[in-house]
Amino acid sequence: MKAQRHFTRGEPKRVGNVVIIASMLLSLLFLSLIKSRYCASPSHVRTDAHLNSGLNANEVVRNEKPHSTDSTVEEDEDEEVQINPAALGTISLADINNKPICFVPTKRSETCDARGDIRIKGSTNTIYIPTITQEHKIKPYARKHDEFALSYVKEWTLKPSTGDQAPPKCTQKHSVPAMLFSSNGFTGNLFHDYTDVLVPLFINTYPFHGEVKLVVSEIKSWWINKFILVFKQLTNYDIIDVNNDDEVHCFPRVIAGPTYHKELGVDPSKTPTGFSILEFKRMLRTAFKLERAEVVSTTRNKPKLLIISRKTSRRFMNLKAMIAAAEKLGFEVKTAEADMNTDPPTFARLVNSVDVMLGVHGAGLTNMVFLPVGAVLIQFVPYGNLEWLTKETFKDPAPDMGIHYMDYFVQLNESTLSEQYPKDHPVLKDPTAIHTQGGWDALKSIYLDKQNIRPDIEKFKNTLVEALRLIRSKKKNHVQMN
């Protein structure tokens, strides 16, 4: 809602027509001064006309001035950015100086939210802010606790723009807020694409309903193109490749660093309107044109099962036997592998069409975000005391998405590790000790990279029978998708 100013004029005293006219003229002059100070002039700041331009699906669009109707700066313009009050949210101009701009919502992320005459110079990774008195450093990627991930992310400096040294002049002006994030870090791994970037970005941008510009640091064109349909749901504007131009982009507000809540999740208690991961799933349905909001399954319908297969580690060694067993139970079975070359819309529609999805722990299970409410996710937990890992990544997020979750715990006789090590080897006898002594590198290299799975078929069939019961029961999960 746009801020409005209301003025009242007292009842004029009966002191003659001249005094009345003079008073009216003074009032009009006062109102003109207020308007010129706080209202954006059409020649200075305009609302972008290309609300649905977005990015071309095959090309990253940078800051080409013909596409940015609100960003052209005339040489004779006043250097100060005209502030659109609507872009400031509920905070008034008078309150800006008293508001802390940076906060750490969890150990995983830091977010800085500044309002006023904000200037971003990507060539120096600097944000000039008039409301701070000392510099602050931030890496705009939601993995603050992970030094290795952050080693791939450029640091940005939030710098005071007041004092002896004047900030650089604006070369492009924008009338809506900016959302600054890095597309580096662990992007390229589907799980990290969603949990480190896309879901946190959604948390920050959803309240703007598209009226926000995405400013990308260390842009990966192929990655942006891969998720272009998602970005078009987050913003009505062209994405700004901020490091590859010499522009000084001026905004009325900037949010630097996406906000993380939890793995593949949104905490409604921390969002302005109580929105949750269900709104994120709804956004994905719109982006990828998915048909099913929830499972509608009866005993007359043939249930559909998707097996997420793998070609390298953690692959199913008896996949054909698994498919045959599922088909005997009445499933229509499909198999697919999700990797870096997978086309997101195509794979999203495949996942959305099934009632049950299963696979060994890995990034491919991130496609659970496309499952309809009431579907079942079966995660094969590899041998090696990895329950804590599988719980945090996929088990915990499932209920909030309206998904029935099932564990399939791989026993030693179902793991190829039993063929690689002697029976009394610590890898088989005491996996926890291996975790403790070798850390993540040992865990990954042994229990994830060296292990393949040969499920016991009878045990597997019993798991599928329980999955059938869940999708055919009238009782839905505790959340519903509108």
In order of their start, the domains of the chain are 65-275 (no CATH), 288-472 (3.40.50)
User: Average pLDDT of the chain?
Assistant: 83
Compute the average pLDDT of residues 259-288. Answer: 97
pTM value?
Answer: 0.80
Note the pLDDT of residue 62: 36
Predicted confidence band at 258 (pLDDT cuts at 50, 70, 90)?
very high
To the nearest whole percent, how much of the chain has pLDDT over 90?
71
* Statement: residue 397 has pLDDT above 60: yes
Predicted confidence band at 165 (pLDDT cuts at 50, 70, 90)?
confident
Higher pLDDT among residues 421 and 10, named by residue: 421
pLDDT tens digits for range 349-396: 999 999 999 999 999 999 999 999 999 999 999 999 999 999 999 999
* Statement: residue 87 has pLDDT above 70: no
Predicted confidence band at 339 (pLDDT cuts at 50, 70, 90)?
confident
* Statement: residue 66 has pLDDT above 50: no
3-state DSSP of the chain:
CCCCCCCCCCCCCCCCHHHHHHHHHHHHHHHHHHHHHHCCCCCCCCCCCCCCCCCCCCCCCCCCHHHCCCCECCCCCCCCCCCCHHHHCCCCHHHHHHCCCEEEEECCEEEEEEEEEEEEEHHHCEEEECCCCCCEEECCCCCCCCHHHHCCCCCEEEEECCCCCCCCCCCEECCCCEEEEECCCCCCCHHHHHHHHHHHHHHHHHHHCECCEEEEECCCHHHHHHCHHHHHHHECCCCEEHHHCCCEEEEEEEEECCCCCECCECCHHHCCCCCCHHHHHHHHHHHHCCCCCECCCCCCCCCEEEEECCCCCCCECCHHHHHHHHHHCCCEEEEECCCCCCCHHHHHHHHHCCCEEEEECCHHHHHHHHCCECCEEEEEECCCCCHHHHHHHHHCHHHHCCCEEEEEECCHHHECHHHHCCCCCHHHHCHHHHHHHHHHHHHHHHHHCCCCECCCHHHHHHHHHHHHHHHHCCCCCCCCCC
Higher pLDDT among residues 5 and 302, named by residue: 302
Lowest model confidence (mean pLDDT) among 89-98, 122-131, 384-393: 89-98
Compute the average pLDDT of residues 193-216. Answer: 98
